[in-house]
Amino acid sequence: MDNHVAGAETGRERENYPDKFLQMSFHQKPFTRVGTVDIVQAMTQPTTDTKMGAGNGQRRRLLIGTSNKGKLHEMLEVLGVLPFQFVTPTDLGISTDAPEDFDTYVENAIQKAEFYRQSSGGLLTLAEDSGIVVDALEGELGVKTRRWGAGEKASDEEWIEYFLKRMEQVAEPKRTATFLCTAVVLGEDSQPHVFVGETRGIITHELQAPIKVGIPISSCFIPEGFDQVYAALSVEQKNKVSHRGKAMHKVKDFLETLA
């Protein structure tokens, strides 16, 4: 078992992984580039549930525990090529959102995975928690990103308008930020398998691409080494460099061992 945090162990990451969680199954594997997939087709392929690791050639269901359409889309861009039938809480009639009671990404991701796995009757479950740490707004966003500012009930447009308003007086050198994603796969062994992605970049002064549903900051965040915001990159570019793309490639490598 790999007992280490995936990715570079920066101060920001270490703060999000209390010592008690460092004994979990943390995975660090190289990620590879994949092409765009037909998400609708990936979600509707016939399946029969099987036990973890069973190799009878039949597809099993994988519950992706999110109600955020933007996150779901990005996750399936990477994972949709795998031989699973992907289902959502809505597909299973789960109408209650998972709680997010903790102050770290890993604890929230585990809590979400446990909630959806239990609500689904024990399906193999993937959940994630993500957010952005903006250096000029120290301590304000992070795990509270979507609940911050205009609030989680605000539209994407209302949320990002408030965010950019708060950032308008911040000078260029101080507009740095870090996107973080922690994903958790929870299966029949009840062992949380944890995967981490992190990307540094800068916040632009205005939107530089149309807003994508559920992920408005992708239209004003330029990752290091690029001159375009997330939302303006090609699917392959974005999934190679983005925090969620990095985490999902590690998840993909792991899930391939279960398919």
Instruction: Give 150-182 pLDDT, tens digit per residue.
Output: 998 999 999 999 999 999 999 999 999 999 999
- In this structure, which amino acid lies at residue 129? D
| 11-256 carries CATH number 3.40.50.1970 | no
CA distance 9 to 27: 13
Residue 165 Cα distances to 56, 102, 160, 240, angstroms:
55, 28, 8, 30
Q: Please count the CA atoms within 13 angstroms of the CA of 242 that sit on its side-chain side.
A: 29
pTM: 0.81
Phi-psi region of 149 (alpha: psi -120 to 50; beta: other; left: phi over 0): left
pLDDT at residue number 188: 80
| Confidence at residue 6, expressed as pLDDT on a 0 to 100 scale | 40
The residue that leads in pLDDT, 36 or 220, is 220
pLDDT tens-place string over residues 51-95: 444 445 578 999 999 999 999 999 999 999 999 999 999 999 999
> Inter-axis angle of helices 69-79 and 243-256, to 10 degrees?
50
SS3 state at 220: coil
How is the chain split into domains, by residue range?
A: 11-256
Q: Which residues are known catalytic residues?
A: 129
CA 254, distance to chain mean position in Å, is: 15
Q: How many CB atoms lie within 10 A of CB 48?
A: 11
| pLDDT attached to residue 27 | 52
